[in-house]
Amino acid sequence: MKKTVTTLADGRELIYYDGRDDAVRTATDPRPLTAVVSRSEIRLDELTGDPVTIASHRQARTYHPPADACPLCPATGGRESEVPEEAYEVVVFENRFPSLSGGVGRCEVVCFTDDHTASFADLTEERTRLVLDAWTDRTAALSALPGVQQVYCFENRGQEIGVTLPHSHGQIYAFPFVAPRTAATRRRVDEHRRATGRNLFDDLVARERADGERIVLETEHWTAFVPYAAHWPYEVHLHPRRRVPDLLALDEAARADFAPVYLELLRRFDRLFGPDQPPTPYISAWHQAPFGDPRREDFGLHLELFTVRRAPGKLKFLAGTESGMGAFMNDVRPEDAARRLREVASA
């Protein structure tokens, strides 16, 4: 992997990741941009103890531009783009409309391909490995920033999820706090350790492998399953067979094995509802251990992939019980979801 670091016209960092050592990235950003002004602040919900980010400046962010004005496409034909080169492989840059910035974290955009119409599932295994290496590199860099406690790499796909730029991309958040979901998981891990002397992630994966009914696919280095108490209609958790706390700790064997497994899962998601249905909307999220936590080795790196579509033409909405009380109700039995995901295995 070759990494080239440069800046955009307003001083934001831009990083190219190339699979070829001879790639040259010299294009400059000609746009007359002013410096990014962010008014992010983090407030504490006193009733729950959860941090809430207030970022009112994001109301002005780019919203469903026409394809010929996509800011994530390469800068060709006079297009004003966040990526000045005429072509690229994988690129990362600071978000111009960040939720977190100015000493309270950082938000980055990751473009997986310069092809406006391609999805992640269309990528080659080589490109997918390059994305994994970029996620790992950014995790290392962002975790070293002052005040950063957790690095979160994720992809939102589909208008049903709330995506405003259809070009295939993800984001990376460097949180100056431990996210509420992770904090809750850490408490459960600690309780399990005190009660049994064992690791919760290890026991969870071992139980799923022994039961087998919710397993979607397995390889020498990865296990994918629908969780016993899945929140979402179709939800898969992907764990490395050797528990590690973060992307940095994955060994080469697991890295080499990741691309075919992940691409297979994404392609199965697109087959779930039949060939006459639009692409399946999903969220794909890496869960990594917080940095600076003395107990972080007990945390298990894993990826959670889920869709809000529960049937053809029907979505799972977070209504009164979920949004109001955080009490999830799932319309699809996890064992049935796993069976369906096995049935739609690609040829």
pLDDT at 60: 67
pLDDT at 154: 98
Strand-pairing partners, residue 184, are none
pLDDT at 346: 62
Report, as residue numbers or ranges, the catalytic residues: 169
Collapse the DSSP code of 38 into the 3-class scheme (helix H, G, I; strand E, B; otherwise coil) and give the result.
coil
pLDDT at 347: 47
DSSP assigned state of 256? H
Of 218, 3, 250, 18, nearest to 114 by C-alpha is 18
Report whether 14 contacts 93 (CB < 8 A): yes
Token pair listed for 337 = 């979801």
Pairing of strands 150-157, 51-54: unpaired
Q: How many Cα atoms are found within 13 Å in the side-chain-facing hemisphere of 100?
A: 26
pLDDT at 102: 72
Token pair listed for 116 = 């406006």
Close Cβ partners of 267 (under 8 Å, ≥ 6 residues apart): 121, 346
CA pair distance 169, 132, nearest whole angstrom: 13
Report whether 257 contacts 335 (CB < 8 A): no
Of 76, 88, 297, 126, nearest to 199 by C-alpha is 297
Tokens 């962002």, residue?
142
pLDDT at 36: 85
pLDDT at 90: 98
3-state per-residue secondary structure call for 52-65: EEECHHHHHCCCCC
CA pair distance 153, 109, nearest whole angstrom: 10
Handedness of CA 133, 138, 140, 141 (dihedral sign): positive
pLDDT at 63: 74
| 252-271 helix and 125-143 helix, angle to the nearest 10 degrees | 120
pLDDT at 103: 76
Collapse the DSSP code of 139 into the 3-class scheme (helix H, G, I; strand E, B; otherwise coil) and give the result.
helix
The pair phi, psi for residue 16, each rounded to 5°, is -95, 140
CA pair distance 50, 190, nearest whole angstrom: 19
CA pair distance 7, 14, nearest whole angstrom: 5
Tokens 């790499």, residue?
153
Q: What is the model's pTM?
A: 0.96
CA pair distance 156, 296, nearest whole angstrom: 27
pLDDT at 104: 84
- What residue ranges of the chain have pLDDT lower than 50? 347
